[in-house]
Amino acid sequence: MLGEVLEVAKDMETKSYREPLGIVAAICPFSTPPHPSIKFISLLMKLDFPAMIPLWSIPIATATGNCLILKPSERDPGAAMILAEIAEKAGFPKGVLNIVHGAAKTVDFIIDEPQIKAISFVGSNHVGEYIFERGSAKGKRVQANLGAKNHAVILPDANKHDALNSIVGAAFGAAGQRCMALSTLVMVGETKEWLSKLVDSATALKVGGGFDDTTHIGPVISPQSRERIEHLITSAQEEGASILLDGRGYKSDKYPNGNWVGPTVITNVKVHMKCYREEIFGPVLICLSVDSLEEAISLVNANEYGNGAAIFTRSGSAAAYFQRNIEAGQVGINVPIPVPLPMFSFTGNKKSVAGGGASYFYGKPGLQFYTQLKTVTSLWKSDEDGIKSVEVSMPTPR
């Protein structure tokens, strides 16, 4: 697999190729930071894209010859079970794809089991760092995508209609419960005057059940998540920000017990505020104002996360300057959620990836993560050219 070969001397060649690791695992939940009033007792988990995240691991792990143990979120395991059924119908041999259920104890078992050679994880920093540190200490490979605070920078020369529509969709789609949600808007110069139009677009979004085709924003994952999101909105207000659109206390006549948070837009945000420092993971867009592109880049780069950043502009030179100087691992130019297709890799950096980004998901780095490189050097001499005497020096090309 992905082999190379070179004749290094007369009758001698060296080749390298990749072999499967054996048994690998994927832990697919996102973890929600607890509400401040809740004592942290166990790993509180929820799932972002319960089908997509397993599909970051299943194809590459199994195509490279490994057996995969997949642990879906205990809160929404159905998608993983459907994928397992599809794999079985497609002809996967028994034991190649295995689903295990559970919470913290199951995670610890996966980390500690010596036969499991590698772990993939997508989730929050406090859970991902725990898995990375404990798994690495056990000698396992660990790839972990963690938290994010994705920024969009909008310049005055941007196509106003297209940019605002893109930002609203990226901020509130999936109720903001995705690691690449566009949660932070940096308005340069006069673009702060566009906020009323942005609020109008967000107000028009329909909150409702996921099986309703007219719904734009579904519920958040749990009552605890709703409480945490509303707490962060309240903290912004208490710290001096302005709530232009308030989704707290949203009620649905059809689903009165749903975990609803309506679209929320917060402006006059400063970088010291809790709503900026923490990943909200809900349908909340926070907005900051700066005077120049350079100031916007400095603001984004000062943030500890580095999953993605986007710029909206008609200027090629401004886009190129942004691309060169921004520190986020995934950059969008007039693209609000710059997640690459599988032939590339998910290349977040800084605190968004455990271990400094040494192990990325899918693409060529994904193939490398699930395989071990082996190098073989062979010497084939004819009988008359055999080794005449003992040689104690290192072999050298001749």
pLDDT one-digit tens code per residue, 316-344: 999 999 999 999 999 999 999 999 888 89
Domain range holding 183? 152-333
Question: Residue-wise pLDDT tens for the chain (398 aa)?
Answer: 778 999 998 889 999 999 999 999 999 854 343 333 333 222 333 345 788 889 999 999 999 999 999 999 888 899 999 999 999 999 999 999 999 999 999 999 999 999 999 999 998 898 999 999 999 999 999 999 999 999 999 999 999 999 999 999 999 999 999 989 999 999 999 999 999 999 999 999 999 998 899 999 999 999 999 999 999 999 999 999 999 999 999 999 899 999 999 999 999 999 999 999 999 999 999 999 999 999 999 999 999 999 999 999 999 999 999 999 999 999 999 999 999 888 898 999 999 999 877 788 989 999 999 999 999 999 988 776 666 778 787 766 66
In the beta sheet, which residues pair with residue 374? 17
Residue 85 lies in a domain: yes
Helix (H, G, I), strand (E, B) or coil at 4: strand
Do both 18 and 112 map to the same domain? Answer: yes
pLDDT digits (tens, 9 = 90+) for 204-242: 999 999 889 999 999 999 999 999 999 999 999 999 999
- Give domain status of residue 349, yes or no: no
Whether this prediction's pTM lies above 0.95 is answered by no
Residue with tokens 């200027």: 315
User: What is the total count of domains within the chain?
Assistant: 2
Is 179 one of the annotated active-site residues of the chain? yes
Q: Is the distance from CB of 145 to CB of 48 less than 8 angstroms?
A: no
Identify the CA nearest to 97 among candidates 105, 110, 86.
86
In eight-state DSSP terms, residue 33 is P
Residue 382 lies in a domain: no
- Does 222 share its domain with 325? yes
Say yes or no: 156 and 199 in one domain.
yes
Based on the domain organization, do 75 and 176 belong to the same domain? no
Is 241 found in the same domain as 326? yes
Query: Same domain, yes or no, for 265 and 199?
Result: yes
Own/partner pairs, 389-396, CB within 8 angstroms, 24+ separation: 395/12, 396/9
DSSP 210: T
Q: Do 133 and 178 belong to one domain?
A: no
Domain of residue 278, CATH code: 3.40.309.10
In a domain, 101, yes or no: yes
Shared domain for 328 and 188, answered yes or no, is yes
**Statement to judge: residues 51 and 173 lie in one domain:** no
Q: Which helix (H) or strand (E) holds 129?
A: helix 125-137
Question: Are residue 163 and residue 291 in the same domain, yes or no?
Answer: yes
Kindly tell me the sign of the dihedral angle through the C-alpha atoms of 379, 384, 390, 392. negative
On whether both 169 and 128 belong to a single domain, the answer is no
The active-site residue out of 28, 179, 275, 287 is 179
Q: Do 285 and 167 share a structural domain?
A: yes
Residue 299 is assigned to a structural domain of this protein: yes
